[in-house]
Structure formats: structure tokens, C-alpha cells
Structure 1
Amino acid sequence: MRILGENGAGKSSLLKVIVGVISPLEGTIVYSGEDVTLDRAPLLQDAIYIGHSVGVKSLLTVAENIRRYCPTVSPEALSAVLKKLDLLDHMNAFASTLSAGQLRRVALARLWLTDKTLWLLDEPFAALDSTAIALLEERIRLHVSSGGLVVLTTHQALRSLPCRDVALMS
């Protein structure tokens, strides 16, 4: 599902309400048929949220940043994901030395390492080059085809991703 809207329409805020970063002003959050407005634990067990801000710590290396979110990742799995995302040569580099696109790929590496069903992604294509966009689109297609759900905000045209659009009006 793609959430559309002008800048300031509330796309990022909606994702933050879903995961409980901010409280809704009214209404309820229903997940798997249950109201999870007051207790997001059932939703959060199944969800991964990657916000507009990449959440990468500049004083940690690429590998340390990924292990921060995926502490049980094997060295082999970590290397494979870093290779796929063209970050293997930067594994031991401090995040402060990376470009914006590389930082985004470090954050998105979690999508290759997670078993979460629900992905909430805020502007996941921001700062990515065409190769990285194609990799991410492929990963999203694979996740959805295996029964996963992706809710994302984007200003990118998603020609190769069939998705349902929800428009927010400011």
C-alpha cells in the first residue's frame, strides 16, 4: 500500500501513529482484527518500521549499525546482504563517512534480514540510485508475494510495483 499526499499532508505522521511513536488524536488502530491502539505489542511483534530518518548511528560502523537492529545475524548473512547492497567494502567504515544513499542502504539492509510480516517504510527510496531502487523494489515484490504486507510513503513513481494507493489530503 502506498500512502500519497503533498508535503505536510501527514504521511509520516500516519506511520508514526501506527507504530505508536505518536498518539492518535482520535480513532483506533486495528491490526489482525484487534484494536491495538492502547497496546501495540501484537502489531510491533510483526512489524519493522524504517522512518524517513535512517536511524543509523554515525559513530558506529556499517556492521555495528546493522547488528544493532539484527543482533543475531550471522557473519555470512551480514556479508551476503552487504554485498547485495554494494556495502561490503564499507563494512568496517564508520557511518559518518558514508553518503546519504549509502546510509539509506544501511538502514534498508534490515529488510533482507527480518522475518517481520508488516513493513512500514517512510520514503524508503529517498537518496537511492536506480540500482538500489531496483533492488528494493525486487525485495518488496518478494516480500509481498510470500504473504507480507508493505505500507510505504513515497514521491517516487512505482511503475514496477503494483500497489494500492491511499491519498491523504491536507
Structure 2
Amino acid sequence: MDLIVSDLTVTRGGVPVLEGVGFVLRPGQALVLRGPNGAGKTTLLRTIAGLQPALKGSVSGAEDRIAYAAHADGIKQVLTVAENLRLWADVFGQADIQPALEAFNLVELRDRAAGSLSAGQKRRLGLARLMVTGRPVWVLDEPTVSLDVASVALFADAVRLHLAGGGSALMATHIDLGLEAEVLDVTPHKAVLTNALEDFDEAFL
């Protein structure tokens, strides 16, 4: 099933930041969002993931199909690596966590408390959660933060495997992951502020 975004306007703090965004994300496809910091990529991803409402437009094909990963790793510090993955696998009705452990080089860390991991290891664990959700659409906001070169390669391989299995990926990243992916520059979709809003912004510059 396609993820279809139509004429979407998204807001931050009640102020429009992007407008007229539209695209179709098909099974097996990756789409990378590009644009300067503060352009609205995170706001767009959060809206598509259903974490905040759109001001205008629609998102279809997202219902119970999206796994969202943001800047926070979303792990339980007191649980082990394996227990974290098992928790998420149970939530999403999945059985096997071993492929996720192997894909993100976490097998030897499976019995370590998540709170004792390095920043990069925590990030790998946070991303490994995607593989135990069973959800076909991955929505990712700067997924390679805190990852070294080797770990970025592991993540890219996991995305390739996901795409090969009929999944899709929508991500904001400044890193070339070596994937075959379409690119959407959000800059042309920057919302045009009204005079009143422009005056309001300038008062705080």
C-alpha cells in the first residue's frame, strides 16, 4: 500500500512552516527529505507519523503502518538490550528479536543494561526497535546521530533489507547512506507568513 501525502501544510507552535507538500511513497521505495536546519523537516515527519495534526491536506495509507524514530532513542535504561527489544516485539505482536540483534551488532550486548551503553550503542538499539515492530513504513528523523561509520553502514544495510522485503522508508538525513532513494527538498515549500506573523517574528529577533 502506498503512503500518500497530499497538499500538506504543517505548523510549529501554531505557525505554518511548510505548505503544499505532496508525494507518494511506494513499497520498496526510500525518500530522503533535504533542507536547512529549521526548515520544518521534523515537523513534517511528526505530522505524517500522526503525532500532531496538519493544518491542511491529508495523509493516507499511514494507519497502523508507521514506525517512527526521532532524535531520542526511546529505550528503557534499566532493561537489558534484549529486554528492550522483547518489550517492543511484544507490543507489536512480533516473535523473533534475533534478526534485529544481528543486524545492529548487538548480540554480544544482549544482556547489558541499556543505561550502561555508549551513545552509539544506544542509538543502534533504538534503531533496532524498528525491525521488531513489523510495520512497513519507517519514518526516520536524523537516524544516524551518534553513529560511527561502521554503524551507519549497518543501518543502511537494515534499510536495504527492509526495502527489499516490500517496506518503505521516509527519512530526514544529511548523510549519504548509499541507498537508491528519491530526494525531496522541502525548501520550496516554506510557508509564506502573513505580514502580522512576520512583524511578530521580527519583534523577537
The answer to whether the superposition gives a TM-score over 0.5 is yes
Q: Which has the higher contact order (CA 8 A, sep 6+)?
A: 1
Matched, 1:134 2:137: no
**The structure with more strand, counted as a fraction of residues:** 2
- 2-structure distance, mates of 1:109, 1:86: 10
2:163 aligns with one of 112, 136, 144: 144
**Greater Cα radius of gyration, structure 1 or 2:** 2
> Could you tell me whether the CA contact under 8 Å between 2:89 and 2:97 is conserved in 1?
no
> Could you tell me whether the CA contact under 8 Å between 1:19 and 1:44 is conserved in 2?
no
Match of 2:43 in 1: 13
Match of 1:82 in 2: 101
Match of 1:29 in 2: 58
> Could you tell me whether the CA contact under 8 Å between 2:89 and 2:132 is conserved in 1?
yes
* % identity of equivalent residues: 35
Q: Which string of whole-angstrom CA distances, capped at 9 and with x for unpartnered residues, describes residues 68-126 of structure 1?
A: 2111554xx32443233222222122211111111111111123334322110111111
Match of 2:184 in 1: 166
Q: Give the count of matched residue pairs.
A: 156
Q: Which stretches of structure 1, 4 residues or more, deviate above 6 A after TM superposition?
A: none
Structure 1 residues without counterparts, runs of 5 or longer = 33-42
How many Å apart are 1:13 and its aligned residue? 1.1
2:129 aligns with one of 110, 113, 121: 110
**The structure with more helix, counted as a fraction of residues:** 1
CA RMSD of aligned residues (A): 1.9
The two structures have a TM-score, normalised by structure 2, of: 0.68
